[in-house]
């Protein structure tokens, strides 16, 4: 049986500390991605532009989640909870779009 399945008080794993430099690096990357998405929107790329904006926003989100919010060091259940939430929202949107485009 896995240890994190037990009712053990005070059990927690300390995170390996993330260096300040890494945080600053992520921040610079976020700012650069923002610049990229603003620049791309000026190019009138239509479908490509939408896809770019979505990819950039997702990438930025992953950086914030994994580094700033320490998700990469958390237990599996944290990632599952988040994935379940994202999947649920995706399904809600997908099933709603079984209606509108086919009216």
Q: At what angle do helices 47-63 and 20-41 cross, to 10 degrees?
A: 170
No. of helices (H) and no. of strands (E), the chain: 3, 0
Q: What's the rounded Cα separation, in Å, for the pair 52 and 50?
A: 5
Does residue 31 bind other proteins (CB under 8 A)? yes
In whole angstroms, the minimum distance from the beta carbon of 48 to other proteins comes to 13
Q: What's the rounded Cα separation, in Å, for the pair 49 and 42?
A: 9
In whole angstroms, the minimum distance from the beta carbon of 57 to other proteins comes to 5
Contact positions toward other proteins, by CB under 8 A? 1, 4-12, 14-15, 17-18, 20, 23-24, 26-27, 30-31, 34, 37-38, 41, 50, 53-54, 56-57, 60-61, 64-65, 67-70, 74-75, 77-78, 81-82, 84-86, 88-89, 91-93, 95-103
């Amino acid at each position: 049986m896995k240890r994190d399945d037990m009712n053990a008080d005070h059990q927690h794993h300390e995170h390996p500390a993330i260096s300040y430099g890494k945080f600053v690096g992520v921040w610079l990357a976020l700012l650069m991605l923002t610049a990229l998405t603003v620049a791309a929107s000026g190019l009138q790329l239509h479908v490509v532009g939408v896809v770019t904006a979505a990819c950039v926003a997702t990438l930025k989100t992953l950086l914030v989640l994994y580094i700033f919010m320490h998700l990469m060091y958390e237990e599996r259940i944290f990632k599952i909870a988040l994935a379940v939430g994202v999947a649920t929202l995706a399904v809600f949107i997908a099933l709603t779009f079984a209606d509108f485009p086919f009216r």
